[in-house]
Structure 1
Amino acid sequence: MATTLALITCLYFASLYIHLSCSSLARLPIGIHPLDEKYYDAELIKCKDGLKSFTRDRLNDNFCDCADGTDEPGTSACPAGRFYCRNTGSTPTFLFSSRVNDRICDCCDGSDEYGGTVICPNTCIMGGNILYQSTNYDSTASNLDSRIPRKTKSGIKMEDSAHKLGGLKALVYVQVFLVIVVVAFLLSRWRKTRRRNSR
């Protein structure tokens, strides 16, 4: 009885930790770069060109209020808009907003097709990003003597690596949670069969 209670308590705190660690990503509106989160947190948001402002409830409402597309990062309403693909497990990218909900999976995580008409599999972790797949195994031996810092062949920056690490952490937490659930289930079945056999 005491081990079951301890196991349930452990599961509760593990799920609470996973929920809290992923909550910052969940409240970020779709199509917005994580570094722009503070910009979009205000109740009254200015267009990036500085000409207009709009309220938070008009964000991603499928009507272009700003000429530069600031208010529609997650829809195709503004021709100048840009959509941010998180691509957790691969390289994050920006798309033109005209590619959002166009029934073609442009982001390897499928986040650009959230409308429900197309189901895009998440191929980021499986190596679905062709650029990541082709440049990941290139040799860097020719760059060892260089004294001038160069951009890496894959274009990965420190911010992108930190973003990938956060996504992979969430994935590990989910896997640990599932292992705990399976172990708890097997332990409870074992205890039930042991009680039956002892009677």
Structure 2
Amino acid sequence: MVRGRKRKAGRRHPCGKLVRPGKAETLREVTATVLEARQRQYGVSARQAKDERLGSAIGRLAFAGKITPEQLAAAELYGDLMARNRAVMGLPPLHPHSAGGLLLDEGIFGRSVTEYDPDYVAKIRKRATATILMLRTADSDAVAATGRRPSVLVHAVVCYEADASAWGDADVRNLGHGLEALVSLFGIRASCKI
């Protein structure tokens, strides 16, 4: 007769301790979870769910064919530029990666203040200003008389991850117009690969 309590079933560490569920997820398991969620949420096949464009709001528009690859590249450059501009201005990021990151950014836990080179700050601010002015120019010469301004739409989709799948034709046209202005500003060629 065996003495003691019955051994619990499950995976174990080399030392014999039971592996807690959820603690030891492998990269393959995490990826499978993400792909299943994309299939459910966006109604795509397993192969299409692997497309990295489905990971952002602007990428989903490119996946659906509502914007061109050049416009997607311009939107990604715009998002990077706006994030850098927020950083050099001393503002917290729009989307912190975690609650701990948010607490660090707000100075609740030992925030490390980065000192930027003044030339770098001037360069980023100059580029951000030129980009904002280009989008305002796109506002004034937008093709669609109805709908929201291109600058508002571009900023909402790229910086705030606004879901544009249910937007009307006028808003999608204005978004494309704003992205085309960024394509010409950033000098993106039609042969760019994303």
Structures share fold, TM-score greater than 0.5 = no
Q: TM-score, normalising length from structure 1?
A: 0.25
User: Which structure has greater strand proportion?
Assistant: 1
Q: TM-score, normalising length from structure 2?
A: 0.25
Using CA pairs under 8 Å that are at least 6 residues apart, name the structure with larger relative contact order, 1 or 2.
2
